[in-house]
Amino acid sequence: MPNHADRLTPERLRRAGEVFTAAVARAWWMAHAGHAPGAALQALHERHAAVLGEEALAVALELFRADDGDVARRQRARALLEWQVESRAARAVAALDEREIAWSRTAVVTLPWGERLPYEQAPIAIANAGDRGRRLAIDEARAALVARELAPLRRERFARERDAVEGLGLAGGYVETFAEVSGIDIRALAADAAAFLRDTEALWHELFAEFVVRGGGIAAGEATRADALYLLRGHAFDAHFPAGHLEPEILRQVREMGLDPLAGGRIRLDTADRPGKRARAFCAPVQVPDEVHLVLRPQGGAADWRTFLHELGHALHFAHMTPGTPFEDRWLGDHSITEGLAMLFDHRLHDRGWLARYAGLPRRVVAAWRRAAAFEELQFLRRYCAKLAYELVLYGGGASWDDLPGAYADTLGAATRFRYQPADALVDVDPRFYGARYLRAWQLQAALGTTLTERFDEDWWRNPASGPWLAAEVLAHGQREPGHDLAQRVTGQALSFAPLVRALEAMVA
C-alpha cells in the first residue's frame, strides 16, 4: 500500500497522465519518423505503471460518480475514466496484439501455382492486380490463411477485451459501457446509419453500375472486396496531383484562410528523407499545443494530397489548443473531433474551386474526378455504416460468435454490394468502436463545412477571416466537449448524415 504522501490525487493523476502520454507520443514519433529503431513502449509502461494502476482507476471512477451538475467537470471526469478503461482494455490484449504483429510480419500466402507472397503485401498485390483471376486467387489464398491462423488469435483477443471491459462492472455490457464512458449514443448512431444506407441506396446502385459494372467490367452479383481494392486504388488522376506542388500549395491555402500553417513554429514540418521513416504522412503531437510534428515524404498522387491535408488538419487542431487547459481537454476526449477537423481539410479535394486554385485541375477533369471521389466516398461511408451494425452484433452479447463470419459477410456485402470473406469477421474490426468516431467525424466535417460556407462563402478556404474564426470557435477548445455538443454549439445543428447526403448529391450532379 502506498503511504499517504504518495496517494494519487486527481491532480497528480492528470500531471502524471500527461507526462506518460507525451512520453508515449514522443517514442512513437521517434520510431516512425526514423529517429529511433523502435518505440520501447513496454519499458515506458513499466516506468509509469502507477498512471494505469488500480488506484488510478479508482480516482477516475470516484470523479465520474461525484456528479455535482457542473457540465465541464463531468465531461473531464468522463474523459479521464474513458482513458483508464481504454488503457486497461489495451493492456489486457497487449500480449495478443504483439503476437499478431509478429505473426503478420512472418506469415506467407502461398498461391495455387506455388508463388509465395508476404501476408502484409497481399492487400497491395490485390490492389495492383489488373488481372482479375490473379487478384481473386490472392484473396482466396489470403482468406484461407487468415481463417486457419489469424482468426482464432483475433477471437481470443476480442473475448479478452470484452471480459476486461465488462469485468469493470460499470454498465450492463460492453456496448453499454462504451456508451457510458464515451457519452456517445452508439445505438442511435447505428439507427441513423441504417437510414443513411436506405437514403443512399439508389445513388449507390447508380455509382456501382458506372464504376464497377461498366468501368470495371465485373457483373453486379460477382464483385468482391478484392475488386473494390483494385477499383479504389485510384491512380487514374495521379498525374494531376504532382508531388512538387503539394506542400507549397496546401500551405498557401492555409495562409489564405488567415492561419499560419506552422502555427508560429509549434508545428514542425519534416520533409527530409531518412531510413526508417514511414512512407505516408502522419501527425504526432508530442507536447500539446507546443510541439506537433507533421511528417511527410511526398511521392505524388491524389492519395498523398489527401493524407497531407488530413494530417495537417490534426496538426492545426493540436497546435491551436489553449495552453494551460486541463490534460483531459488537450489529450483525451472524443476523437470524433480531431478526426472531423482532419476530414474538414481532406474534403477540400472534393471542392471544385479548391481543386482549380491549388491543384490546378482543368475544368473537364474536375467533374470526372468528383464523380470518382463520390464513388469512393459513398463506398467508404456505406462500409463504415455496415461495420457499425456488425460491431453491435459482435459486442452486443446477443449472438453466438460462431455465427459472426456469416453475419459479417452478409452485413458488409448487402451495404456495399461487394462480396466479403467470412474469414475477415474478426480481422476487419476497429476495436472499441473507433469506426463510430469516423462516422461522427464525417458528419462533423460536413456540418462545419456548411457553417463555414454560410459565414464565409463557398470559397471560405481562401477567406482570411475563416481561419481565425475556426481557431477561436473550434481549434482552441480541443476536445473538452463531445463532438455532438461541439456541433450544436458551433453549427447550431445536431450531428447527422443529412449534409453528407447533400454533398454527395452535389458531387454527382
Give the residues lining the site for Zn ion (CB under 5 A). 339, 342
- Listed residue (199, 263, 180, 168) closest to 470, CA to CA: 263
Pick between residue 310 and residue 382 the one whose CB is nearest to Zn ion: 310
Smallest distance, Zn ion to C-beta of residue 261, A = 18
Smallest distance, Zn ion to C-beta of residue 260, A = 21
Whether 331 contacts 325, CB under 8 Å:
no
Match 464515451 to its residue by C-alpha cell: 182
The DSSP bridge partners found for residue 267 are 292
Q: How far apart are CA 458 and CA 349, in angstroms?
A: 14
Q: Which segments of 327-427 does DSSP mark as H helices, in order?
A: 327-331, 336-346, 352-354, 363-396, 404-416
Whether 301 contacts 241, CB under 8 Å:
yes
Helix (H, G, I), strand (E, B) or coil at 118: strand
Smallest distance, Zn ion to C-beta of residue 332, A = 16
Smallest distance, Zn ion to C-beta of residue 190, A = 22
Whether 117 contacts 139, CB under 8 Å:
no
Q: How far apart are CA 422 and CA 425, in angstroms?
A: 6
Q: How far apart are CA 270 and CA 266, in angstroms?
A: 13
Pick between residue 307 and residue 421 the one whose CB is nearest to Zn ion: 307
Pick between residue 316 and residue 342 the one whose CB is nearest to Zn ion: 342
Q: At what angle do helices 483-491 and 434-456 cross, to 10 degrees?
A: 10
Q: How far apart are CA 475 and CA 337, in angstroms?
A: 9
Smallest distance, Zn ion to C-beta of residue 272, A = 23
Helix (H, G, I), strand (E, B) or coil at 278: coil
Whether 6 contacts 16, CB under 8 Å:
no
Residue nearest to Zn ion as judged by C-beta position: 342
- Listed residue (12, 103, 81, 101) closest to 50, CA to CA: 12
Pick between residue 339 and residue 481 the one whose CB is nearest to Zn ion: 339
Pick between residue 193 and residue 312 the one whose CB is nearest to Zn ion: 312
* Torsion-angle region of 269 (φ positive above 0: left; ψ -120 to 50: alpha; else: beta): beta
Pick between residue 207 and residue 341 the one whose CB is nearest to Zn ion: 341
Pick between residue 208 and residue 318 the one whose CB is nearest to Zn ion: 318
Helix (H, G, I), strand (E, B) or coil at 407: helix
Pick between residue 261 and residue 285 the one whose CB is nearest to Zn ion: 285
Pick between residue 207 and residue 342 the one whose CB is nearest to Zn ion: 342
- Listed residue (87, 110, 68, 275) closest to 168, CA to CA: 87
The DSSP bridge partners found for residue 284 are 293
Pick between residue 339 and residue 351 the one whose CB is nearest to Zn ion: 339
Smallest distance, Zn ion to C-beta of residue 312, A = 11
Smallest distance, Zn ion to C-beta of residue 294, A = 12
Match 514511414 to its residue by C-alpha cell: 278
Residues listed for the chain? 509
Pick between residue 240 and residue 437 the one whose CB is nearest to Zn ion: 437
Pick between residue 342 and residue 444 the one whose CB is nearest to Zn ion: 342
Smallest distance, Zn ion to C-beta of residue 373, A = 18
Q: Give me the amino acid identity at 350.
A: H
Smallest distance, Zn ion to C-beta of residue 445, A = 11
Smallest distance, Zn ion to C-beta of residue 297, A = 18
Q: What is the largest CA-CA distance in the chain?
A: 73
HSE-up (13 A, CA, CB side) for residue 19: 14
Smallest distance, Zn ion to C-beta of residue 342, A = 4
- Listed residue (385, 334, 347) closest to 487, CA to CA: 334
Smallest distance, Zn ion to C-beta of residue 314, A = 6
Cell numbers describing residue 304: 498523398
What's the Cα-to-Cα distance from 398 to each of 114, 192, 390, 404, 406, rounded to whole Å?
Answer: 42, 21, 12, 11, 15
CA dihedral (265, 271, 277, 278) in degrees, to 10, reads 100
Smallest distance, Zn ion to C-beta of residue 83, A = 18
Pick between residue 51 and residue 337 the one whose CB is nearest to Zn ion: 337
